[in-house]
A = this chain, B = another copy of it.
Amino acid sequence: MPDITDMTTQVRTTDDPLPSIGPARVVDETVAALRQAILSGDLRPGQKLSVPALALRMGISRSPVREAVLALTAEGLAVESPRRGVVVTELGLKETQAIHEARGPLEGFAARLAAERGPADLGRRLDGILAEQAEAVATGDEDGYFRTNAAFHRAIAAACDNAEVHRLLVSLEGRMALALRQVAARPGHRESGLEEHRKVVAAIKARDGSGAETAMRAHLAATRQRVVIAPGSEDQMIVGSSSAK
Interface residues of A (CB under 8 A from B): 2, 4-8, 14-18, 20, 23, 25, 28, 46-48, 50, 53, 57, 66-67, 70-71, 74, 76, 81-84, 95, 98-99, 101-102, 104-106, 108-109, 162-165, 167-168, 171-172, 175, 239, 241-242
Task: Verify B71–A164 contact, CB threshold 8 A.
Answer: no
Task: Verify B162–A17 contact, CB threshold 8 A.
Answer: no
Task: Verify B17–A98 contact, CB threshold 8 A.
Answer: no
Task: Verify A175–B168 contact, CB threshold 8 A.
Answer: no
Contacts A15-B242, A25-B82, A74-B71; A168 near B164 (Cβ below 8 A)? no
Bound CA span A4–B86, Å:
13
Contacts A70-B70, A168-B168; A8 near B241 (Cβ below 8 A)? yes
Bound CA span A106–B162, Å:
14
Q: Which of B17, B47, B66, B105 contacts A105 (CB 8 A)?
A: B105
Task: Verify B50–A82 contact, CB threshold 8 A.
Answer: no
Task: Verify A242–B16 contact, CB threshold 8 A.
Answer: yes
Task: Verify B67–A167 contact, CB threshold 8 A.
Answer: no
Contacts A70-B67, A71-B70, A82-B25; A164 near B171 (Cβ below 8 A)? no
Residues of B within 8 A of A165 (CB): 98, 101-102
Bound CA span A237–B71, Å:
30
Task: Verify B164–A20 contact, CB threshold 8 A.
Answer: no
Bound CA span A83–B4, Å:
14
Task: Verify A102–B168 contact, CB threshold 8 A.
Answer: yes
Instruction: Report the minimal beta-carbon distance from A57 to chain B, rounded to whole angstroms.
Output: 8
Task: Verify B67–A164 contact, CB threshold 8 A.
Answer: no
Bound CA span A165–B57, Å:
36
Instruction: Report the minimal beta-carbon distance from A105 to chain B, rounded to whole angstroms.
Output: 4
Residue of B nearest to A6 (CB): B46
Could you jot down 10 A-B contacts, CB within 8 Å? A2-B53, A4-B47, A8-B239, A14-B242, A17-B84, A20-B84, A71-B74, A98-B162, A98-B163, A168-B171
Residues of B within 8 A of A95 (CB): 163-164
Residues of B within 8 A of A104 (CB): 109
Bound CA span A206–B66, Å:
48
Question: What are the 4 tightest A-B residue pairs by CB atom distance, in nearest-first order?
Answer: A74-B74, A102-B164, A105-B109, A105-B105
Residue of B nearest to A168 (CB): B168
Instruction: Report the minimal beta-carbon distance from A30 to chain B, rounded to whole angstroms.
Output: 13
